[in-house]
Structures are given as structure tokens and as C-alpha cells.
Structure 1
């Protein structure tokens, strides 16, 4: 990480420290044998249903992991009938629908689409997504997504996605891990693989942390959406499989 970016941590350490005390493990099929470092809070985030917009490699992998952990999911695409085999494979806790239906269905919504599709999603489903916790995983690639991707890289995906998805409780999540590692590293033995998170909303961070744990990974709060650029494409931690301790060290975040 560029040393010039480190001063930005100062205003966010309080947020990260406070959140570290309120994360709870959630029921998961992944037994790690590790004692959770967090203490049980008086308040938990109750999520049962997750709408998934974009059910490809990342969305489909997370659907499998969350169903195993006991969540209900709605897989969606522009052609939901093509997702029926996957839903049948996942069992009674999985169903299919259109992106609009998935946006309305979820207590939280995962958006896992090419970054260039994000502006249209923000426009088309603004009503259904309003006020919801949204985990957004996309990464801008100019060769695929065009000029908007170049601007997103300059500005940072946290601030860009915030502008493209107004009115939601946005969390940048699962963008810095490959689909292959989502499947191979989930619930591994020893220290879990870390997933960095960034959001301006404390409640959304709590919910996202639960979902990360349910998928078999360790959440690491990097800070507000401004700091999402620290795990964007091209950074030292992008698509690297790191423990929480290693990730914090790379990004200059204290334990």
C-alpha cells in the first residue's frame, strides 16, 4: 500500500474498533474449530433472505455458501429460467427470479455483475433497493466496461458505486477475492482467509460481517467507502489470499 494513503486511517480507527466488538459468528456449515474473538453483543443483525443480482461465478458461489449456512436466497438474471438447475441443486432454500424480484426479496442484496452494468441497476431498481443493505462486488475493467471504468479506478470504487447506487446502505465486499478462491478457501482449516469490507453505514457493516463469516471467511473492516480504493484492482491485496492479520498489516490497520 502507498504510504501516502495511511493517514486516511486516522478518522476511521474508532469505527473499526467499535465494530470489532459487535461482530457475531452466525450459524454456518463451515466448522473452523476456532474460538470467535468477538464478544456477544446485545443487538444482532437479523438477516434470513438474500437477493442475488448476477448469479455467475461469484454470485453463484456465494449462493451455495449461504444456503449451506442456512440462509434463503433468490438467484436472478435477465433469464431466470437458466438458473433453475442451480436452484434445484441448492435445494428448498433457493429460488429464482428477475433482478427486480431479487432486489425486492432480500433482507440484504448482493450485486455481482460486471461493473459497467451498475449504472443501469441503480436506475432500474432504485425503488426496490432503497434503504437496503447492498453488498457490491464488481471491479472496473476498461477493456470490458469502457470509459466509466477508467473514471471509477481514478475515483475509487467505493465513491463511484455510492454515486451509482444512491439511497442504499452500500458495502464494498467480496471484490478482492477470486471466484476460484471463494470455493477453495471457504471454511479452510487454520486462520480463515480474510475478506475486506468498506462502508459508511455501521449497521450495513455488521450485516456484511455476518455474511462473510457465514460464507466461511474472516471479515476485516477497512473503513468507510473512501477506503474501498485500498483493496481495488491493482492494489497489493487484490485477489491475494491473506489472513486477517496479514491483510491488516498490508493496509496499515491495527488489530
Structure 2
């Protein structure tokens, strides 16, 4: 599969490397693509560098991995996102802490509204780049869950396959109503910032969805 990466820093660079190892073709991009030459040389075949618009045009799937404050600019630069699957790795951190979103709205839904026409799936946002690089490819009970959320079932199916290819166990937490389960802040018995295997993730989601129903 061809994947365009918009924002090739820690998360974008790490996930892109994992996908190249799995045989996918990756175009890494940023506001300064000339600074990415070393990354591509280190990765080797199936990796190339381009501009953000080139990444958006190249990819069947686009990975958005920029700071929260740069999301609007990156989406505007990408342009060609209509109908494309957009994997959103961002978290709502600003220089003043977490951005306050409208009551009940997850950061995932906020970005889905900003990226109108794209088929957004939230993923790769719960664990640091360093941990993802170290834990990818574990097997059996040690295999690490990568939770994801979205409203488009077909897009989620494709993203789940890419998660598997990157060495993690895909775990669907639901749609936008449940997406905040995998978003910051870090808190006890949550997904953000925590390493879970599949059995633990299933038990945790059952607890969280049960609490949600009690609040309704």
C-alpha cells in the first residue's frame, strides 16, 4: 500500500519505518522535506521524500502526525484528502496544556470535522515513539495493543491491517463517542500512555463503556 506521511518527526518517522519493513511504500513529508533525506537513506527501499501536497496525492492512506497547533496548517497544505483514509496521531496538547474542546467532543471528532471529506481514524497516539519502536513485533501475551477509533467501518478495517503490519494488535474502541478513551490526559485504567495486551484491553473497554452507560 502507498502511504503518505504528513509530519515525519518521532511518531511519523517511527511508524513509517515499521510500514516500510512490512513492504509498504512510504512518502515522508514535512514543511521542510530537505531535512528528511537522512531518514530516507537510513530506511532504504520503498521510502521517499516529498512535499505535503505530494504526500497527500501519493498515499492511498495519509498519516497525520504534527503538533496539535499545526493541524489546520497541515490539512490546508495537504489539499487532496477527499475520500482518503486519514490516520490521526495527534493529541490536543498546546503550550498551555490540553486544549479545551466543546463539552462531549473528542479531539478525534474535532479533527474529523476539520478534515472534511477525509475518512479519519484515530490511532498511534497513545504510546511514545520510542516505546512503539521497542515494542513492535512482540507476540503472544506480550503483543501490545494499538487502540483506534473512527466512524467509517471500511477505513477502520484498512487501518487495522496497517496496525497489524506495524507489529501491534489492533483494538477497536468504537466511534467518536468512545474516542476520548484513547486520548489524553493520562489517568488510571485508561488507554492513553499505557501498555496493554489484548485481554487487558478488552476488560478495560468493558469497564469504560459500562461507566459511560451509567452516566447516560
What secondary structure, in the 3-state scheme, does the structure 1 residue paired with 2:160 have?
A: helix
Task: Answer whether contact 2:6 2:74 (CA < 8 A) is retained.
Answer: no
* Structure 1 residues 133 and 87: CA distance shift in structure 2, 3 A: same
- Tell me which protein shows more strand as a share of its residues: 2
Equivalent residue number for residue 241 of structure 1: 195
State the TM-score, normalizing by the size of structure 1: 0.75
Equivalent residue number for residue 139 of structure 1: 91
State the TM-score, normalizing by the size of structure 2: 0.89
Which consecutive residues of structure 1, in runs of 5 or more, have no partner in the other structure? 1-47
Moved more, 56-65 or 189-198: 189-198
1:139-195 Cα shifts (integer Å, max 9, x gaps): 01132678xx22278621121111111110100001111111111100014331001
Task: Answer whether contact 1:53 1:111 (CA < 8 A) is retained.
Answer: yes
Task: Answer whether contact 2:144 2:168 (CA < 8 A) is retained.
Answer: yes
What secondary structure, in the 3-state scheme, does the structure 2 residue paired with 1:129 have?
A: coil
Aligned length: 204
Structure 1 residue ranges, 4+ long, deviating more than 3 angstroms after superposition = none
Task: Answer whether contact 1:72 1:94 (CA < 8 A) is retained.
Answer: yes
Equivalent residue number for residue 194 of structure 1: 145
The Cα shift of 1:225 comes to 2.2
Q: Give the superposed CA RMSD.
A: 1.9
The aligned runs of 1:114-133 (5 Å cut-off) are 114-126=67-79, 128-133=80-85
Which consecutive residues of structure 2, in runs of 5 or more, have no partner in the other structure? 210-216
Equivalent residue number for residue 212 of structure 2: none
Q: Provide the rounded CA distance (Å) in 2 between the counterparts of 1:92 and 1:174.
A: 23
1:207-233 Cα shifts (integer Å, max 9, x gaps): 100110000000011111221111110
Which of 113, 116, 119 is matched with 1:169 structurally? 119
Which of 176, 179, 186 is matched with 1:228 structurally? 179
Larger RCO of the pair (alpha carbons < 8 Å, separation 6+): 1
Moved more, 49-58 or 229-238: 229-238
* Structure 1 residues 121 and 145: CA distance shift in structure 2, 3 A: farther
Task: Answer whether contact 1:74 1:97 (CA < 8 A) is retained.
Answer: yes
